[in-house]
Structure 1
Amino acid sequence: MTAIARTFFHVPVFGWLLKDAVHGAVDAKYYFFGNLVAVLAVLVYMVGYPLLIVLALTMAAAVLSMILILTATDLIDQRTRRTKAHATRTAALARRA
């Protein structure tokens, strides 16, 4: 288990719910999701519609960042393969000459 997960487990109420969802009974995951939906509903009731807009914009930025990270990782991986292939091809051409 990573240090980040252990840190989240130590948060008083949220950590207890999260720990139970991860290590608890099989149906604890569904109760955790239900609790999150209930908390979101209460927050929307208290704060209003702007909360949903802020959450949607935040999630859009997070998803776009994840897409960028995933595609950039593939690009970096291809560059290292190309560099190795170029180095071996250059070495082979140098041996012929």
Structure 2
Amino acid sequence: MDPIIQFLQNQTLPADPAEARRVRYRSTRYLIINVALYKRGFSLPYLQCLTLEKGNYVLREIHEGICGNHSGACSLAQKAIRQGYFWPSLHTDAQAFTQKCDKC
């Protein structure tokens, strides 16, 4: 996510031409609003992009928080998206998180 943020803020591209093309192509799906990175969705509202640590906290709260119901990986990821959050490894993190849960 860092090359995309650098490109959106400063128009700085990586030195590798293939990577620069990839960053330019992927950056069209993102925008920066008040110093926060958001992902544009086709039929979704803007999703706030989180770091991996904040993403794990969100998954933990949705899964076993005060209103948590120890749901499965797919529904856990979709609940995070419905709450307005996104990070690139959301689905794999949800899968790993549900596999580690002792109560499930």
Considering Cα pairs closer than 8 Å and 6+ residues apart, tell me whether 1 or 2 has the greater RCO.
Answer: 2
Q: Which TM-score applies when normalising by structure 1?
A: 0.23
**More strand by percentage:** 2
**More helix by percentage:** 1
Higher-Rg structure is 1
